[in-house]
Amino acid sequence: MMFVLMLVLFVHRFGGSGVALHAAIPIALSYFISTVTMIYAQHLSGQFPEPSIDLTYPGIGLFLLGIGGNLYHHYILATLRGEGEKEYKILKGGLFDLVLCPHYLFEVLGFVGISCIAQTPYTLAFTAGTTMYLLGRSCSTKKWYLSKFEDFPKDAKVFLPFIF
C-alpha cells in the first residue's frame, strides 16, 4: 500500500493541482482493504494443513521483481514528458519496446509472488482478478494508442513480450 502511495505522490506528475491526492485516497483505501482481507484469509487458513510445496522463497523473488519492475516503469512514465509538455507520446525504454503496459505485467508478478507466499485461495483469486482487470486495461490502452497515433504498430503486444 505504501508503495502505491509513494508512486502516486512522488513519482507521477499530474497536470492539475490536487489530482495526486484525489487519486491516492481511493487507491490507498483499495489496497488497504485488500491487504487486510488477505491477512485475515491467511489467519483463517491456519486450520488447514501446510501446503506440500513451500513457495515462500520463489514468491519473495517474484514479489521483489514485480515491485522493482513496476517502480522502474512508473519512473519511465513519470519522466517521459519534459516540464510543461502536454502532448501524448509513444512510450520507449525498459520493456515498453516489447509490450505496451510492462508496469501492469510487473504488478501482476508482484501479486503472483504474494500468492506464492500466502498459498491461500483468496490470494490466488485476488491475483486472478487483478490479472484480468489489468489485461482489460492493457487492451483498452492499445485501442486508444491505435486511435491516436497513425504510426502505432497494430501487432504491438499489450502484456506479455512476444506473446500477447
CA–CA distances in Å: residue 15 to residues 74, 85, 89, 145: 16, 10, 15, 20
Lowest mean pLDDT among 70-74, 77-81, 109-113: 77-81
Are the beta carbons of 70 and 103 closer than 8 angstroms? yes
**How sure is the predictor about 2, in pLDDT bands with cuts at 50, 70 and 90?**
low
For residues 60-79, one letter each, b for 16 or more C-beta atoms within 10 angstroms of the residue's C-beta and e for the rest, the string is eebbeebbebbbbbbbbbee
CA distance 58 to 116: 7
Close Cβ partners of 51 (under 8 Å, ≥ 6 residues apart): 119
pLDDT in tens, 74-89: 999 888 888 888 888 8
**How sure is the predictor about 11, in pLDDT bands with cuts at 50, 70 and 90?**
low
CA distance 69 to 56: 20
